[in-house]
Amino acid sequence: MSNDDDPICPICLRPIPPEARQSLHHLVPKLKGGRHGPTVLLHQICHNEIHAALTEAELARVYNTPEKLRAHPQIARFAEWVGKKEPTFHNRTVGGRRKRPKRG
């Protein structure tokens, strides 16, 4: 059960109660120089959606703030959908992590 003291997920804007699956997201990926940079607490499902929709390079170059992430069309649609769910809702993310294109 969530309460007023629970942090708010910057993607879906739902509270993150202690029993919800959650994780820290590096706004600039660790592999792109963000190891000691800012992080935000997210629902795990929101974090999974970010990495399913965007590559590490895209996250580092363009989508490196919660506001920019929420403006991405796929993330915006996801946030609208998941925002109607209970704060503890979790489901498998379709598609898995985005991989960087292979050089050939």
Run means of pLDDT, 10 residues per run, the chain, 104 residues: 87 97 95 92 97 95 97 97 96 64 52
Q: Which residues of 24-62 are buried (b: 16+ CB within 10 A; e: fewer)?
A: ebbbbbeebebeeeeebebbebbbbbbbbbbbbeebbee
Residues 14 and 83: beta-carbon distance below 8 Å = yes
pLDDT of residue 4: 82
pTM score: 0.86
Q: Domain containing 78: what range? A: 1-91
- Count of domains forming the chain: 1
pLDDT of residue 34: 87
Q: Is residue 45 a part of any domain in this protein?
A: yes
Q: Is residue 42 a part of any domain in this protein?
A: yes
pLDDT of residue 25: 96
Q: Which residues contact 77 (CB under 8 A, 6 or more apart)?
A: none
Q: Record the tokens describing residue 74, joined without a space.
A: 């796929």
Q: Is residue 101 a part of any domain in this protein?
A: no
Could you tell me which of 98, 95, 103, 32 has the C-alpha nearest to residue 61?
Answer: 32
